[in-house]
Amino acid sequence: MASALRRRVYVELEPRARDGQGLSATNKFLVLCIIIASALAILDTEPMVSSGREDGFRLAELAFGAIFTVEYLLRLWIAPDNPVWAKHRFPRLRYAFSVQAIIDLLAIVPTFFAFGGGGSVLLRFFRVLRIMRLAKLGRMSSAWQDLATALSERRHELFLTISIAGFVLLVASTLMYWAEADAQPDKFGSIPRAMWWCIVTLTTVGYGDVFPMTVLGKGLAGLVALAGIGLIAMPTGILAAAFSDVVQRRREAARLAAEARKAGVSRSSAPDRSA
Amino acid sequence: MASALRRRVYVELEPRARDGQGLSATNKFLVLCIIIASALAILDTEPMVSSGREDGFRLAELAFGAIFTVEYLLRLWIAPDNPVWAKHRFPRLRYAFSVQAIIDLLAIVPTFFAFGGGGSVLLRFFRVLRIMRLAKLGRMSSAWQDLATALSERRHELFLTISIAGFVLLVASTLMYWAEADAQPDKFGSIPRAMWWCIVTLTTVGYGDVFPMTVLGKGLAGLVALAGIGLIAMPTGILAAAFSDVVQRRREAARLAAEARKAGVSRSSAPDRSA
Amino acid sequence: MASALRRRVYVELEPRARDGQGLSATNKFLVLCIIIASALAILDTEPMVSSGREDGFRLAELAFGAIFTVEYLLRLWIAPDNPVWAKHRFPRLRYAFSVQAIIDLLAIVPTFFAFGGGGSVLLRFFRVLRIMRLAKLGRMSSAWQDLATALSERRHELFLTISIAGFVLLVASTLMYWAEADAQPDKFGSIPRAMWWCIVTLTTVGYGDVFPMTVLGKGLAGLVALAGIGLIAMPTGILAAAFSDVVQRRREAARLAAEARKAGVSRSSAPDRSA
Amino acid sequence: MASALRRRVYVELEPRARDGQGLSATNKFLVLCIIIASALAILDTEPMVSSGREDGFRLAELAFGAIFTVEYLLRLWIAPDNPVWAKHRFPRLRYAFSVQAIIDLLAIVPTFFAFGGGGSVLLRFFRVLRIMRLAKLGRMSSAWQDLATALSERRHELFLTISIAGFVLLVASTLMYWAEADAQPDKFGSIPRAMWWCIVTLTTVGYGDVFPMTVLGKGLAGLVALAGIGLIAMPTGILAAAFSDVVQRRREAARLAAEARKAGVSRSSAPDRSA
């Protein structure tokens, strides 16, 4: 009896149990909850929006906390139905220590702690944690998987280019420290301080809070910018290209699978027609 | 009689009715009018240019408004000649609710309202609307179609990369809010405020109105910048690559069609020569 | 007699007359002169370098002016030897109106005018003109030809993307004018003023002299930045890709030609060996 | 006896002597030392970290200096075992003048000089030199080789694009000097000064310390930014693409070699099984 109910709940909650049919109604509702709860958690921090409406925000937070707690407990309950966890000795315990379950738990915890009072720093830390709920969305989409595939396929290139980028960053910081330390000791007075300039410049952000002032510093900074920007941008460029590759390959595979299925259907239905 | 005249007007106004022969004289004139009227609408807002010349600008605005009104009415009149609308029961009514016609209407309306007085905010809204005329140019070019094709072909990648970009944006904003809220409450005092910093940094614009000041904030900002810029730039990179693909494919198709036509002409003309 | 001398001067001065053998000694000397003269013209404007050394700079300017005048006259003299101009009725006159000759002339003129006194504005204009000499280098390199090929091959894509970029720029400027004109009339008080913000933002330069301050303006600016940067960067991205294509194709062609030459040599030399 | 010991030290120290087996324990220890020593050299410059801990930093510096001195002497000692240097008449002398040995020496020297007192400028120069140790890491990785291959393979494109970038930079600086020199003599008063603006703008860093203020200057700057950014970014874009090519090609070659080895193993082991 309980097992049949659990099975039904499993099919309703686990996206992989109903492949090719999209998200179940329950999961669609949960996605909506996650988005609204995250939006509220973001707006809650803005005094212009939240001041005077603290009670409303608190109530909504409690409601969403309750929903996600129920979801967490249900997922724990149905773990033995999932073939991934079923093969372990204690499927629920094993599931409780999976990345998904930990993210789920971290997204509930703040609700309970937020009302325990506590200092403002601790409070803010828990508030901030609530945004973790968005990561739950990640489990349902394939974006993270594709990104992980792209990362692992190009790990060699990424390692090399990150090494070069790091070396360029250090050498450029050292040069600028050497050139500008006397003129601007508070901004270039040490290599770590010069590194802030270096990151801001080589990513081309350029806030303008730190920039060279001596002729030597400007000359070096110009050379560093012209030569270094491309080297710093290499890892992200390679990652973006790899990600695009992965997505296109997967789409192509999906298209071929769909065509094969269609061809199979027409072949199997052909005798029916001839009959 | 009227039908023959309407047919003539149709061929003159509808670019698709004269394929391969470029724009008609009337349409060339209209394109010129759109460009001049838009340029005037832009300059009209600049006091350094318009002050003392208000009457001239008003007169030009009236003249162009009249031209575009006549164009709008003519296009409404010839709608039944266009095979696209002819198949509907009320071709003119159907046309009036098409995207093209609505843009055309929105581009005329400001002319009439601008002289009705009204508050300065309403006035500016209508002034600003006049720039919509430029969108009429879009209908005549193929740029928008290519962009739409590129968007729809890569909608899967774009959705994935926009999801990742959005998630990166939110997590980065949350981190910076956590790190800098105490030091700069007016600039990082809430997640939406930190989001402004985040967009300005991850797009590498970096105005310099907001930047981290604490050591923790600078460290996090450096990591966010190095890791996040490539992720934020992925959607636009994919779109740009897709657009380039679409344009090149269409150019290639045009080349093949031209060759086929030439080959067809030489084949059909070959017997003539042998005769 | 004169004709033989002219022929010799022609071979010495015209790079195309000695293909595959690199630049002649005279041309190498001229390239060096152009680089030094340009460097001096640049340094001449910097008071920190030039003050107290005005006579030296003036002397060097005179010397280089004399060298380039002699070069100009010699090139005019040898024009009939160049097959490109020889087929015209007045080869020297035709050459004098070629792009190369006009650049050469513009690069000499400032030398003569610089000493005629004149107002400081006129003087600076002529000083600035001296940098034109660097364009003479362009004639000897193939960079400009490759860039021109790339531009003409992709003119269709470039036109489309520049149209889109222009439209995005105008719409974004209009939106920001609408949102920020009241809050910052001196910076967003007209569409042309908002356009300066728009160019600075969409190219991601972001000086920080102009940025939105209202909540609506910041929201719009964030959307414009996230969506617009890729669209504005499309033309330059396409041009860079096209340029790279052209250079690689030319290099490939050069490699094939070199291989063919080698193969030809070994074939023709084979009988020699068998003999 | 000594020769056998030297051979052992050689195998331990020279990564190429043990191909396919990764770094030896000694080299792993040295890599760790380099990373720690570099991190300490960086932190040493930051007063917030080093003040009050000067003795600790000095001691660590001495210890690492000693380790690297021993390493340098050992590498000198084993040079005759390395086939690369063995073929020369004086293998140790030849090695001492190799790039690797000079970098190694430059990374030790500061340790000794740092205690000789000296002026603060000289002291900082030597401190800065210590970061050179990181370059020693480069010898052990293949990143620099790949970068060098990429540079040499595309030297033609790089030369052309760097020429164009340099020309664009000079012409843009000249134009802005011409437009803004009167309005902002301290920032655009000479071509070299305008060049600082130009580099900051065309790399899209945009600190905001220098920007045009006149209408003419803003117009020119807008055009320069829109047209020039792509041209300036061409060399780095080409280099990044070439680097990615080199790495992928090498990875592909490694994969093929691994497959060939596996195929060879299964073929040679097949008879064994049948036996």
The DSSP letter of residue C46 is: -
| ipTM tops the 0.95 cut | no
Which of A175, A178, A244 is the best mutation test for D, with the most CBs of D within 10 A? Answer: A178
CA distance D55 to D63: 12
Per-residue pLDDT averaged across B43-65, rounded?
Answer: 87
Beta strands, E only, B39-168: none
Q: How far is A248 from chain C (nearest CA, A)?
A: 20
> What percent of chain A lies above the pLDDT cut of 90?
20
Least confident of A67-76, A107-116, D250-259: A107-116
Nearest of C133, C129, C107 to residue C31 by alpha carbon: C133
Three-class secondary structure of residue A259 per DSSP: helix
Residues 6+ apart with CB under 8 A from C33: C64, C67, C68
Looking at chain C, which subunits does it touch, using at least 3 CB pairs closer than 8 Å as the criterion?
Answer: A, B, D
Q: How far is B142 from chain A (nearest CA, A)?
A: 26
- pLDDT number for residue A21: 66
- pLDDT number for residue D141: 61
CA distance C115 to C75: 25
Select the highest-mean-pLDDT range: A1-10, A258-267, B34-43, C208-217: C208-217
CA distance B199 to B201: 5
Q: How far is CA D210 from CA A202, D15, D195, D213, D217, in A?
A: 18, 50, 11, 9, 12
Nearest of B88, B82, B104 to residue B34 by alpha carbon: B104
Q: Each residue of D81-119: pLDDT tens digit?
A: 888 888 888 889 999 998 888 888 888 887 776 655 444
Residues of D in contact with C38 (CB under 8 A): 170
Residues 6+ apart with CB under 8 A from D220: D175, D176, D179, D212
Looking at B115-184, list the stretches that DSSP marks H as alpha helix, in order from N- to C-terminal side.
120-129, 133-140, 143-153, 155-180
- For D226, the closest chain C residue by CA position comes to C203
pLDDT category, A265, cuts 50, 70, 90?
low
Q: Are C95 and C75 in contact (CB under 8 A)?
A: yes
Q: Please report the residues numbered 84 through 113 in chain C whose beta carbons come closer than 8 angstroms to any beta carbon of chain A.
A: none
Per-residue pLDDT averaged across C237-264, rounded?
Answer: 81
pLDDT category, D273, cuts 50, 70, 90?
very low
Q: What's the farthest any 2 CA atoms get from each other in chain A? A: 94
Looking at chain D, which subunits does it touch, using at least 3 CB pairs closer than 8 Å as the criterion?
Answer: A, B, C
Residue C194 predicted with pLDDT over 90: yes
Q: Each residue of C24-75: pLDDT tens digit?
A: 888 888 888 888 888 888 888 888 888 888 888 888 888 988 998 999 999 8
Nearest of A232, A98, A56 to residue A161 by alpha carbon: A232
CA distance B87 to D155: 62
Q: Is B207 on the interface with D (CB under 8 A)?
A: yes
CA distance B140 to B31: 9
Which of C178, C186, C231, C236 is the best mutation test for B, with the most CBs of B within 10 A? Answer: C178
Q: Are C209 and D211 in contact (CB under 8 A)?
A: yes
> What percent of chain A lies above the pLDDT cut of 70?
85
D233 with A230: Cβ contact below 8 A: yes
A141 with B160: Cβ contact below 8 A: yes
Nearest of B128, B233, B227, B123 to residue B175 by alpha carbon: B227
Which of D156, D159, D160, D188 is the best mutation test for C, with the most CBs of C within 10 A? Answer: D160
Q: Are D17 and D11 in contact (CB under 8 A)?
A: yes
Residue C130 predicted with pLDDT over 90: no
CB atoms within 10 A of CB C8: 12
Q: Are B137 and B38 in contact (CB under 8 A)?
A: no
- For D135, the closest chain A residue by CA position comes to A167
Per-residue pLDDT averaged across A194-203, rounded?
Answer: 94
Residue B121 predicted with pLDDT over 90: no
CA distance B57 to B43: 9
Structure tokens at C266: 């070994």
Nearest to A206 among D134, D146, D205 (CB): D205
Residues of C in contact with B232 (CB under 8 A): 226
Q: Is D178 on the interface with C (CB under 8 A)?
A: yes
| Residue recorded with tokens 């693409």 | D241
Which of C31, C35, C42, C158 is the best mutation test for D, with the most CBs of D within 10 A? Answer: C42
- pLDDT number for residue D222: 94
Structure tokens at D262: 């596996």
D244 with A157: Cβ contact below 8 A: yes
Q: Each residue of D151-206: pLDDT tens digit?
A: 888 887 888 888 888 888 988 998 899 899 889 999 998 899 999 999 999 999 99
Q: How far is D46 from chain C (nearest CA, A)?
A: 29
Q: Is C39 on the interface with D (CB under 8 A)?
A: no
Q: Each residue of D19-33: pLDDT tens digit?
A: 666 778 888 888 888
Q: Are B247 and C160 in contact (CB under 8 A)?
A: yes
